[in-house]
Structure 1
Amino acid sequence: MLLWLRHYRRAMLPGDISAGIVVAMMMIPQGMAYAMVAGLPPVVGIYASIAPPLLYALFGTSSTQSIGPMAIISLMTASTLAPLAAPGSALHGVLAAQLALMSGAVLLACGLLRIGFLANFFSRPVMSGFTIGSAILITWGQLPALLGGALPHVHAPSALLGVGALALLVWARQWMAATLRRLKIPAVAADIGAKLAPMAVVLGSLALVSGLGLDARGVATTGEVGAGLPHLNLATSSAHWQALLQPALLIGFMIFLISMSGAQTLALKRGEKLASNAELLGLGAANIGSALSGGFPVTGSISRSAVNFAAGANTQLASVVTALLLGVALVAPNGWLALLPLPVLAATIIVAVLTLVDLSLLRTAWRYDRADAAALLATAAGVLALGVEAGVVVGVALSMGALIWRASRPHIAVLGRIAGTEHFRNIDRYSAATAPGLMMLRVDAGLFFGNVEAVNERIEEELAAHPDTRHLVLVLSAVNAIDTSALFGLKELNASLRARGVLLHLAEVKGPVMDRLKESDLLQSLSGRLYLSAAMAWDDLVE
Structure 2
Amino acid sequence: MPPLPSLAALRPYLRDALRDDLVAAVVVSVLLIPQSLAYAMLAGLPPQVGLYASLLPPLFYAALGSSPFLNIGPVAVLALMIMQTLQLAPAGVSPSEAALVLAAEVGLFLAAAALLRLHALAALLSVPVLHGFESGATIAIAASQLPVLIGSTASGGTLPDLWRSLSAHGFDWRGVAALFGIVSLLTLVAVRRLPKGLISRIAPLAVLLAGIGIAWACDPQGLPRVGELPPLALVFTPPRLDPELWTAMLPGAALIGLLGYVSSLAVAESLARRVGQRVDARRELMGLAAANLAAAVSGGMPAAASFSRSVLMSDAGSRTRMTGVFVAALMGAVLLTLSPLLAWVPKPVLAASIMVAVLSGLKFGPYADAWRYARAEALLMVAVTLLVVFVGITAALGLGVAGAIALLLQRSARPHVALIGRIAGTEHYRNVERHQVELDPEVLGLRIDESLLFLNGRSLADVVQAHLDTHPTTRRVLLQMSPVNTIDFSGLSALKELHETLERQGRRLDLSEVKGPVLDRLKASGWESWFRGRLYLSHHLGMQDRD
TM-score by length of 2: 0.91
| Paired residue type of 2:109 | V
**Which deviates more, 72-81 or 147-156?**
147-156
Contact kept in structure 1, 2:27 and 2:201, CA below 8 Å: no
- For residue 527 of structure 1, report the CA deviation from its aligned partner: 4.0
Pairing 1:225–2:229 present: yes
- Please tell me whether residue 148 in structure 1 is matched to residue 151 in structure 2: yes
CA distance in 1, matches of 2:382, 2:411: 19
Q: Distance in 2 between matches of 1:112 and 1:449?
A: 28
What CA deviation, in whole Å up to 9, does each residue of 1:94-113 have, x standing for no partner?
A: 11011111111222222233
Q: Read off the aligned partner of 2:147 and give its amino acid letter.
A: P
Q: CA deviation at 1:357?
A: 1.8
Which consecutive residues of structure 1, in runs of 5 or more, have no partner in the other structure? 179-189
Note closer, same or farther for the CA distance 1:85–1:26 as it changes in structure 2 (3 Å cut): farther
Residue 187 of structure 1 is matched in structure 2 by none
1:165 maps to which residue?
Answer: 184
Larger CA deviation: 384-393 vs 397-406: 384-393
CA distance in 1, matches of 2:453, 2:269: 34
User: Deviation string for 1:49-100 (max 9, x for gaps)?
Assistant: 11111111211221121111110111111111112158xx862101101111
CA contact (8 A) 1:229 1:330 kept: no
**Contact 1:227/1:333 (CA < 8 Å) preserved in 2?**
no
Shift in Å, 1:17: 1.8
* Counterparts in 2 of 1:7 and 1:363: CA distance versus 1, 3 Å: farther
Counterparts in 2 of 1:500 and 1:234: CA distance versus 1, 3 Å: closer
Q: Which residue does the alignment assign to 2:431?
A: 426
Which whole-Å CA distance do the structure 2 matches of 1:265 and 1:27 have between them? 21
Contact residue 34 and residue 71 of structure 1 kept, 8 A:
yes
Q: CA RMSD in A?
A: 2.1
109-118 or 68-77: which moved more?
109-118
Structure 1 residue 303 displacement after superposition: 0.8
Question: Could you tell me which of 175, 189, 205 is aligned with 1:199?
Answer: 205
290 and 403 in structure 1: CA distance in 2 versus 1, 3 angstrom threshold:
same
CA contact (8 A) 1:229 1:327 kept: no
Deviations 1:502-542 (A, max 9, x none): 22212221112211221335443334322222111111138
How many residue pairs match? The answer is 525
Among 27, 33, 41, which residue is 1:22 paired with?
A: 27
Structure-to-structure mapping, 1:492-507, within 5 angstroms: 492-507=497-512
Aligned pair in 2 of structure 1 residues 114, 496: CA closer, same or farther (>3 Å)?
closer
Report Cα offsets for 1:321-363 as digits up to 9, x if no partner.
Answer: 2221221222225322222111111111111111222222222
Contact 1:85-1:92 at 8 Å conserved across structures: no
Report if the CA contact (8 A) 2:239-2:296 is conserved.
no
* Aligned with residue 326 of structure 1, among 331, 343, 346: 331
Letter in 2 for 1:166: L
The equivalent position to 2:113 in structure 1, one of 104, 110, 114, is 110
Structure 1 residues 334 and 488: alpha-carbon distance in aligned structure 2, compared to 1, 3 A threshold: closer
For residues 267 and 148 of structure 1, do their structure 2 counterparts lie closer, same or farther at Cα, with a shift above 3 Å needed? same
Q: Which moved more, 1:424-433 or 1:1-10?
A: 1-10
- Match of 2:157? none
For residue 391 of structure 1, the aligned residue among 373, 386, 396 is 396
Cα–Cα, structure 1 residues 267 and 333, in superposed 2: closer, same or farther, change >3 Å?
closer
- Please give the alpha-carbon distance, in whole angstroms, between the structure 2 residues aligned to 1:83 and 1:14: 46
Partner of 2:162 in structure 1?
A: none
**Would you say the 8 A contact 1:23–1:308 is kept in 2?**
yes
Which amino acid in 2 is paired with 1:451? Answer: N
Separation in 2 of the partners of 1:68 and 1:61? 16
**Corresponding residue of 1:267:** 272
Query: For residues 125 and 457 of structure 1, what CA distance do their matches in structure 2 show?
Result: 32
User: Deviation of residue 402 (structure 1)?
Assistant: 0.7
Residue identity opposite 1:226 in structure 2: P
Moved more, 96-105 or 112-121: 112-121
State the shift of 1:119 in Å: 1.5
Residue 484 (structure 1) aligned with residue 503 (structure 2):
no
Shift of 1:448: 1.9
Tell me the alpha carbon deviations over residues 263-310 of structure 1, each in whole angstroms, 9 at most, x when there is no partner.
222222222222222222111111111111111100111111122222
Is contact 1:107–1:280 with CA below 8 Å preserved after alignment? yes
Question: How far apart, CA to CA, are the structure 1 residues paired with 2:516 and 2:296?
Answer: 51
Structure 2, unaligned stretches of length 5 or more? 155-165
Letter of the structure 1 residue corresponding to residue 300 of structure 2: G
Higher alpha-carbon deviation: 392-401 or 310-319 = 310-319
- Give the partner amino acid of 2:190: W
Q: For 1:404 and 1:483, how far apart are their aligned partners in 2?
A: 16
Cα drift, residue 191 of structure 1: 2.2
Which whole-Å CA distance do the structure 2 matches of 1:372 and 1:433 have between them? Answer: 37
Are residues 467 and 296 of structure 1, via their aligned partners in 2, closer, same or farther at CA, if it must alter by over 3 Å? Answer: same
The 8 Å contact of residues 89 and 249 in structure 2, kept in 1 or not, is answered as: no
Which of 207, 216, 219 matches 1:213? 219
Letter in 1 for 2:395: A
* 1: CA distance, partners of 2:137 / 2:484: 40
Q: Are 2:418 and 2:431, in contact at CA under 8 Å, matched by a contact in 1? A: yes
Which residue does the alignment assign to 1:181? none
Deviation at 1:210, TM superposition (A): 2.3
1:417 deviates by 1.0
TM-score by length of 1: 0.92
Is 2:262 the counterpart of 1:243? no
- Letter of the 1:284 counterpart: A
Match of 1:125 in 2: 128
- 1:436-459 per-position Cα deviation (integer Å, ceiling 9, x unaligned): 222111111111222223322221
2:418 counterpart residue number: 413
Could you tell me how far apart the structure 2 residues matched to 1:298 and 1:85 are?
23
Note if 1:285 corresponds to 2:290: yes
Judge conservation of contact 1:34–1:70 (CA < 8 Å) in 2.
yes
Q: Distance in 2 between matches of 1:507 and 1:155?
A: 77
**Contact 1:438–1:541 (8 Å) recurs in 2:** no
Separation in 2, partners of 1:220, 1:370: 46
Deviation of residue 211 (structure 1)?
A: 2.6
The Cα offsets for residues 159-218 of structure 1, whole Å up to 9 and x where unpaired, read as: 122111111111112x22x2xxxxxxxxxxx5243022111111111122223322x2x1
- Corresponding position of 1:101: 104
Higher mean Cα deviation, 254-263 or 297-306? 254-263
